[in-house]
Amino acid sequence: MKILLTGGSGYLGSILTRKLLVNGHYVRILDNFLFGKDSLKDIQSNKKLELVEGDIRDLSIVGKSLKGIDSVIHLASIVGTQSAELDPKASMEVNFMATRNIAELCKIYKIKQFIFASTCSVYGAQPDQLIAENSEVNPLDSYGLSKFQSERAILQAYDYPTILRLGTLFGASHRMRFDLAINLFIAQAMNKEKLTVFGGDQWRPFLHVDDAAEAFSFAVENKMEGTYNVIWKNLTINQMAKNVKKIIPSEINISKNIVDKRDYRVTGKKLEYFGYKAKKDITFATKEFKLKILEDVKNYKQDKYSNYKSFFNSKTIQRKVYTQGPIFKK
């Protein structure tokens, strides 16, 4: 199968690319390569891999990229609340408008399958119930709202799409991130720093990034349709920090200042019914991090390991992404 993968060099995409190639698919990546191409350097010579550099807001390049394609997996977006809030207009263009346009083009080009990476953040704050795919949504920020609006646009534009609502990701990747809760806590613990928890009683569904990639691969191979929550386990922020502490002895600092008000628990039983099961836990992530940090990462606090810091501090990235160019000041 010939697959167009947007955002294929990113935290999730760089893992998914390899899985698709291993399964024998031809993969065309459409990406603006904000963080370079190092995450793909060991597979760039693969004859079944094609790299197209471009912006998903450019209808011309999207149209060209769709030629000869059977399936589209759309990952590319401005990820995370903080990054999205830096320029809400650009975030809406990338996360919602571009997604809507891609879905409409997929219908015009008669693409057989459209798979969209959404987020469980669309549920917002609903801690008193276990949330299923047919539960009400309640996005609390522009990121969650843009993803839910994209879902609705896709359902209107494309017949029988696949929408995967992902839990909060963690784990090692070829394009490493330490701006994710579990990743940050593991890095802090390994560096003998305090684990700072804001609030702590908020619930989150977590998912290892490799299991997330496996979910997309599963959807491709099984020709899935519909909307699915994809998670490993629901934990409070406190529980998650304590799990890390059990593996790497460390001190937890509790701050009553709740920066992020999202608070929700979800069920992933619907996708599990079809045979998918997330398997990788925090213990697994800690073991792989020990190798990753010791071998590859000299300083986990560098801007390149954080989407928000990169977007805020890099004028090059701002010129590529944000509507008004480099408008932010330290």
Reported as a pLDDT band with limits 50, 70 and 90, residue 327 is: very low
pLDDT tens digits, one per residue of 163-199: 999 999 999 999 999 999 999 999 999 999 999 998 8
Locate tokens 């304590």: which residue?
A: 242
- Does 330 reside within a domain? no
Q: pTM for the whole thing?
A: 0.94
- Does 106 reside within a domain? yes
- Does 13 reside within a domain? yes
Please report how the helices 59-66 and 98-108 are oriented relative to each other, as an axis angle in degrees rounded to 10. Answer: 40
CA pair distance 143, 137, nearest whole angstrom: 13
Strand ranges for 141-251 from DSSP E: 162-166, 168-170, 195-198, 203-208, 226-230, 233-236
- Does 202 reside within a domain? yes
Which tokens hold the place of 197? Answer: 């928890």
Number of domains within the chain: 1
The count of residues in the chain is: 330
Helix (H) or strand (E) holding 129: strand 125-131
- Does 214 reside within a domain? yes
pLDDT tens digits, one per residue of 135-158: 999 999 889 999 999 999 999 999
- Does 329 reside within a domain? no
Note whether 248 and 189 are within 8 A (CB): yes
Q: Report the phi/psi class of residue 192: left, alpha or beta, with left for phi > 0 and alpha for psi in -120 to 50.
A: left
Reported as a pLDDT band with limits 50, 70 and 90, residue 81 is: confident
Of the candidates 118, 130, 206, the residue with the CA atom closest to the CA atom of residue 162: 118
**Residue 272 is part of which domain span?**
2-321
pLDDT tens digits, one per residue of 249-307: 999 998 888 778 899 999 999 999 999 999 999 999 999 998 887 778 889 999 999 99
Note whether 187 and 181 are within 8 A (CB): no
Reported as a pLDDT band with limits 50, 70 and 90, residue 313 is: confident
Note whether 133 and 165 are within 8 A (CB): yes
pLDDT tens digits, one per residue of 210-254: 999 999 999 999 999 999 999 999 999 999 999 999 999 999 998
- Does 274 reside within a domain? yes
Which tokens hold the place of 209? Answer: 């990034």
- Does 328 reside within a domain? no
Q: Is residue 40 classed exposed, middle or buried when 0-12, 13-18 and 19+ CB atoms within 10 A define those classes? A: buried
| Domain CATH for 292 | 3.40.50.720
Instruction: Specify the pLDDT at position 323.
Output: 61
Instruction: Specify the pLDDT at position 230.
Output: 98
